[in-house]
Amino acid sequence: MITTIITFIIVFGILVIVHEFGHFYFAKRGGILVREFSIGMGPKLVYHRGKDGTTYTLRLLPVGGYVRMAGAEDDEEELKPGTPVSLYVGDDEKVQRINTSKKSTLFNGIPLEVTGTDLEEELWIEGYENGDESEVKRYSVAHDATIIESDGTELQIAPKDVQFQSASLGRRLMTNFAGPMNNIFLAIIAYMLMAFVQGGVPMGTNQVTVASSPVSVAQKAGIKTNDKIMAVDGKKTSSWTDLSTAIQPRANQKTTLTIKRGSTTKQIVLKPAGQKSNGKTVGMIGITQAQNKHVGAILASGFTQTWMMTKTLLGALWSMVSGHFSLNDLGGPVAIFATTSQATKFGMVGVLNFLAFLSINLAIVNLIPIPALDGGKILLNIIEAIRRKPLSENVEAGITLVGVGFLVLLMLLVTWNDIERFFIH
């Protein structure tokens, strides 16, 4: 259980960090202020303000993360009239820090009860100083001033010129696409690493590697590594799939294999051993796929495996949409945790394969054009490009709200279904 928990946290952490770093990097490149880069959700544990203007936070729940971009829909910030704050004014007579938190105290802070603010365009804050309601005092706010939020996290304010909507359409579209793109890159790298750990890439042909074991049927019969099994009881086998399909039904039955070794062809008679698998007895002779150990093949496997898995997942998604939909087709954090337990049994290869699979899943799901997902945001970018102007803020906010509501409801249903599947029944 401990191994599963640690693996789950590491795998989930890698997925989130890589995904969010894509948004983070391209937002920075596009001149968008990233106010916060958070790993985890919920209450903050620690935070660090970088010289780049971004606050980096680690939060309690290791089941997600986010990039908080200035002016984006998840960057709601408003100092309401009546809010008590304290101000730190610099030598240039401009406010450098605005403290709204009772958890953090600013030395020499000026107490102010807010009556109005503009932290986007004209950059000012005004209110009653020291409880004196006879006069409203206004202060200019520095462009790079910070605000300490109620939980004690210090973030840079978000002037209009560094907000998400102020970036060009192309840069906004790239920022939205970068998260799923990074997950595709992660899958490619994970599959490459998996091939290195395995010592090569399965060749998929009828060439075999013989297991070195006293109980190996193939070894006892005289089959050697790099032999090619051309036929099983006269039935031609040109691929590993052909070979395994022909041998598995022949448990404990006398079977003739046609073997090619170099330029020599010979026949070997053996009886595949019977082994239980998923409640059935299948024939096994103690061979594995021959491996291509060339570095080029290993590197290429990252791309080919990612492409094959992407096609498989897209096919599954299409069958869900066009056929009978079931919640069992989906899985949330509970299902991922349960599957992590299975992956860890296969060691590093199993974990890397699982990481690649999840990363492709995350990329594909995020590109579905549902509001609140990256795909929904990209769709809005495309609509803006066609219309040559963005949708109104109210329309976009309404669409996003519907998308968020749908996703929250779906996540609740999926999570409960996963709990029933894996822990109740």
Residues catalogued as catalytic: 20
**d(C-alpha 364, C-alpha 375), whole Å:** 9
Question: Which value, to the nearest 10 degrees, does the dihedral of the CA atoms of residues 309, 310, 312, 316 take?
Answer: 130
Counting every residue written for the chain, the total comes to: 425
**d(C-alpha 283, C-alpha 275), whole Å:** 6
**d(C-alpha 22, C-alpha 86), whole Å:** 36
**d(C-alpha 145, C-alpha 70), whole Å:** 13
**d(C-alpha 316, C-alpha 301), whole Å:** 22
State both tokens at 156.
Answer: 């840079």
Cβ-count burial of 137 within 10 angstroms (0-12 exposed, 13-18 middle, 19+ buried)? middle
- Is residue 318 within 8 A of residue 227, CB to CB? The reply is no
Is the Cα dihedral 406, 412, 417, 418 positive or negative?
positive
State both tokens at 262.
Answer: 């170099």
Q: 141 pairs with which residues across the strands?
A: 95
Name the nearest CA neighbour of 337 among 20, 38, 39, 62.
62
Q: 154 pairs with which residues across the strands?
A: 148
Burial 301-336, CB ≥16 within 10 A → b, else e: bbeebbeebbeebeeeeeeeeeeeeeeeebbbbbbb
Q: Which amino acid is at 259?
A: I
Name the nearest CA neighbour of 147 among 28, 35, 32, 34.
35
Name the nearest CA neighbour of 184 among 351, 366, 400.
366
- Is residue 380 within 8 A of residue 391, CB to CB? The reply is yes
Other beta carbons within 10 angstroms of residue 422's beta carbon come to 15
**d(C-alpha 332, C-alpha 410), whole Å:** 10
**d(C-alpha 302, C-alpha 244), whole Å:** 24
Q: 116 pairs with which residues across the strands?
A: 126
